[in-house]
């Protein structure tokens, strides 16, 4: 599945590809997100891009683990039981590449019911208050799914991650204000 997005990288480093796929638990959503991330990002400075992505995945997992352990609310701790930490790490890696406008749109779209439900492009544009290009950015990143003519959907895990991150940021900014 990873080879659908980055065939040259998989051919260059099959062992690195296997390690990366194993680290993500072979989860289709994680593979899709990582594949799109690798296809769009520039790992040209790395001799072994897949191994660099694996290191980034492990680093992000550790960062999430620390956030979960130090979380005083339920936003992050509830996530652990719902899906793999590696999947949330891949979502975080993709999320970190978004512009502020794209992240704001993703956050706004998280109010819609997740898959298998869908929402119209018109509703997405109205809710996000962003131009159509921002929806394209989210779709290119794999965080927003095209669901038919002028319809979109968010994967449940992506929606859960976005909501938990937003609650965590709100909680942290609330604590800072005290």
Check: CATH 1.10.10.10 for 99-178?
yes
Would you place residue 176 in the very low, low, confident or very high pLDDT band (cuts 50, 70, 90)?
very low
The pLDDT of residue 75 is above 60: no
Would you place residue 84 in the very low, low, confident or very high pLDDT band (cuts 50, 70, 90)?
confident
Residues of the chain with CATH 1.10.10.10: 99-178
pTM higher than the cut 0.85 = no
Q: What is the pLDDT of residue 134?
A: 97
Share of the chain above pLDDT 90, in %: 63
Q: Which of 160, 28, 138, 59 is nearest to 94 (CA)?
A: 138
The crossing angle, in degrees rounded to 10, of helices 100-109 and 121-128 is 120
Q: How far is CA 108 from CA 112, 118, 132, 136, in A?
A: 8, 14, 14, 15
Share of the chain above pLDDT 70, in %: 81
């Amino acid at each position: 599945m990873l080879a659908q997005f980055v065939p040259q990288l998989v051919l260059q480093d099959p062992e690195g590809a296997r390690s990366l796929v194993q680290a993500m638990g072979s989860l289709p959503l994680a593979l899709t997100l990582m594949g799109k991330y690798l296809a769009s990002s520039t790992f040209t400075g790395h001799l072994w891009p897949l191994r660099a992505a694996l290191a980034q995945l492990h680093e992000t997992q550790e960062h999430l683990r620390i956030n979960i352990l130090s979380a005083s609310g339920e936003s992050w701790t509830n996530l652990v039981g719902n899906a793999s930490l590696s999947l949330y790490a891949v979502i975080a890696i993709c999320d970190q590449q978004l512009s502020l406008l794209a992240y704001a749109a993703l956050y706004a779209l998280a109010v819609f019911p997740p898959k298998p439900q869908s929402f119209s492009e018109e509703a997405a544009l109205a809710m996000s208050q962003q131009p159509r290009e921002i929806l394209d950015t989210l779709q290119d990143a794999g965080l927003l799914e095209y669901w038919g003519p002028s319809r979109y959907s968010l994967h449940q895990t992506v929606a859960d991650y976005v909501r938990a991150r937003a609650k965590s940021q709100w909680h942290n900014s609330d604590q800072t204000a005290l």
